[in-house]
Structure 1
Amino acid sequence: MTSKTDNPPSYEDALHHPKYGNYPHPPQRDSALPPPPSYSPSPGMYSGPPGYWGQESAYPQAGMLTTIPTLSAGVPPSNQGDMEDLLSIQWESTSIRHAFIRKVYLILTAQLAVTFSVVAVFTFVDPVRLFVIKYPGIYWASLVVYFMVYCILVCCKGPRRRFPWNLVLLGIFTLALSYMSGTISSYYETKAVFLAMGITALVCIAVTIFCFQTKVDFTSCGGLLCIASVVLMIIGIVTAIVLSFHYVPWLHMLYAAIGAVVYTLFLVYNTQLLIGNRELAISPEEYIYGALSLYIDIVHIFLFILQVSGGATD
């Protein structure tokens, strides 16, 4: 039990006698305390407690809908229309890429049909076969045309608006490389040519399926492929010098095997550039360049495998 003297003083006593008892009291003021502020709620808000005079509280009324801030408060909220626009843009880019791939493979199919038709004629028709062997100057002329047209196509990528000059140049390039391939094939037996065609077809199909299924990005390995091509060129020069003195005859087959592997890697690289879902990609407008790259890789794979199969059959 406590006595009345232990109770705290009343409001009037504390106001007129500030040193009453041991209780701390606020300082005395000249006038009476101001009345509490009137309750005038704004929509969704109420006036704050003393100490926040004139400020609206951040606490909403009960039953009012609120917006909870998120981590992306600085980003404007996306609505259904924005999402539909994004999906339509993605679908449009995907359809453009698919149309580009179909166009490239259509051109590539026509090129390979011409090339292997010329190779078949040079292999099966004996008068043509003897003619290209007897006049090697045509082969060297086609080699010059091959390099010249290739440089023009690489330096002038992209379609032409008025007249498709790139398609005309691509046709000339295809005929030149087809003649070169047919001339080389005329020096080998028919069995070796058919074996090289079959292996090349299997390699191209396997590489295409691999590139469309794998998640490994080979487009970031351009530097390694450049080094591999330089090494292949050096090995080719050494092989030509060694074989001219009739030393180490198996070195020719080793060089051909390395060349087939290097151009297979180039085929993987160019195919992933064509697909377009990797670090690097070919523009959909450069379908001539895409077909040209794949065509060169496939023909060189065929020629290197032909050298290996021809040496094996001999």
Structure 2
Amino acid sequence: MSSKTDSPPSYEDALQHPKTVNYPFQTQHGTPLTPPPSYSPSPSACLGPPSYCSQGGVYPQAGMCPGPGFSQPIVPIPTLSAGLPASSPGEMDDFISNQWETTSIRHAFIRKVYLILTMQLAVTFAVVAVFTFVDPVKEFVIKFPALYWASFVVFFLVYCILICCKEPRRHFPLNLVLLGIFTIALSLMAGSVSSFYETKAVIIAMGITAIVCIAVTVFCFQTKVDFTSCSGFLCIASVLLMIIGIVTAIVLSFQYVPWLHMLYAAIGAVVYTLFLVYNTQLLIGNRELAISPEEYIYGALSLYVDIVHIFLFILQISGAATE
């Protein structure tokens, strides 16, 4: 039991003598502490889920609502330019000018390559026309096939030299002379092969080759398909073409099989058409791989070899069809 002195004072006594009463929010010796304000959750002050803010009397989870006397936390919103320096108008102008300069250099490179290629094709088809329409020359080549083999040796040697040369500016006069010798050698080869076929077959092959080259060029400049990433496939196709050619040569040496020869010619025309697409996209330069603007000799050389081989394979098909 508690004594009378231990009983709590009445309400009037507590108001008259507040220092004698020890409450939880008051000190025994000192000034009274102000009790904390009552908490009344409001939807506008709560940052948590609606289920916590809508329940009156239920204190939300820690971190959801700011306490009394504290401002709402400001959460930074990340942007796309976070961590990146702002580009000034001068930097943007430099970027655009560099892009324009690169594009102009590439266009000048393409024009230079096609100019060289046009001259090469003009020489080649002129030689083919002489070997086809001039009967004495045609008979001489048929009687002396050594011209073809001599041209082939020169073609192979000069081709290896041009492929191995990687500094066109330093060796420009030499490369130009070698390119002329290469063009004459391959033209003599094409003319020697054309002399064994009828004039009608040669004209048909020339027309089909021109159509194929124009179609491939337009296709490469318009399409978004990247053929420069298919170098492995083209390597396999070239190996397959070589194997079929060896088998065809062995079979034809024992017994003539017309359909096998035409099959080999058709596969060769398709493979070199794909090579023409590949080399044209290397020339354009907006794909995964591209030719350097300084290697215009190599660019013209690759396109020229592809076009002449397409002509020779189509000539075999048209010659077999006319016979």
- Aligned to 1:164, the other structure's residue is in SS state helix
Cα distance 1:207–1:24, how it changes in 2: closer, same or farther (>3 A)? same
In structure 2, the partner of 1:37 is none
In structure 1, the partner of 2:125 is 116
Q: How far apart, in 2, do the equivalents of 1:182 and 1:239 lie?
A: 23
Q: TM-score, normalised by structure 2?
A: 0.78
Greater Cα radius of gyration, structure 1 or 2: 2
Please state if 1:24 is matched with 2:34.
no
Please state if 1:97 is matched with 2:106.
yes
Q: Which runs of 5+ in 2 are unaligned?
A: 1-10, 34-68
Per-residue Cα deviation, 1:148-201 (whole angstroms, up to 9, x for no partner): 011111111341336521111111100000000000000001000000000000
In structure 2, the partner of 1:239 is 248
Per-residue Cα deviation, 1:221-273 (whole angstroms, up to 9, x for no partner): 00000000000000001101111112422211111011000000000000000
Please state if 1:174 is matched with 2:177.
no
Q: How far apart, in 2, do the equivalents of 1:185 and 1:243 lie?
A: 20
Alignment check: 8 A CA contact 1:111 1:174 kept? yes
Moved more, 179-188 or 164-173: 164-173
Per-residue Cα deviation, 1:75-94 (whole angstroms, up to 9, x for no partner): 11101111111110110000
Alignment check: 8 A CA contact 1:18 1:28 kept? no
Alignment check: 8 A CA contact 1:158 1:287 kept? no
Amino acid at match of 1:171: G
1:72 Cα deviation from its structure 2 partner? 2.6
| Equivalent of residue 306 in structure 1, options 308, 315, 323 | 315
Per-residue Cα deviation, 1:83-130 (whole angstroms, up to 9, x for no partner): 111110110000000000000000000000000000000001111111
Q: How far apart, in 1, do the equivalents of 2:26 and 2:159 lie?
A: 98
The RMSD of aligned alpha carbons is 3.1
Q: TM-score, normalised by structure 1?
A: 0.81
| Equivalent of residue 116 in structure 2, options 107, 111, 115 | 107
Alignment check: 8 A CA contact 1:259 1:304 kept? yes
Alignment check: 8 A CA contact 2:22 2:28 kept? no
1:24 Cα deviation from its structure 2 partner? 3.3
Alignment check: 8 A CA contact 1:219 1:278 kept? yes
Q: How far apart, in 2, do the equivalents of 1:292 and 1:29 lie?
A: 102
| Equivalent of residue 278 in structure 1, options 280, 287, 290 | 287
Q: How far apart, in 1, do the equivalents of 2:310 and 2:29 lie?
A: 102
In structure 2, the partner of 1:195 is 204
How many residue pairs match? The answer is 277
Alignment check: 8 A CA contact 1:219 1:279 kept? yes
Per-residue Cα deviation, 1:259-304 (whole angstroms, up to 9, x for no partner): 0000000000000000011110000000000000000000000000
Amino acid at match of 2:88: N
1:28 Cα deviation from its structure 2 partner? 7.4
Amino acid at match of 1:19: N
> Identity over aligned residues, as a percent?
76
| Equivalent of residue 297 in structure 1, options 299, 302, 306 | 306
Amino acid at match of 2:98: I
Q: Which runs of 5+ in 1 are unaligned?
A: 33-50, 53-57, 60-66
1:71 Cα deviation from its structure 2 partner? 3.7
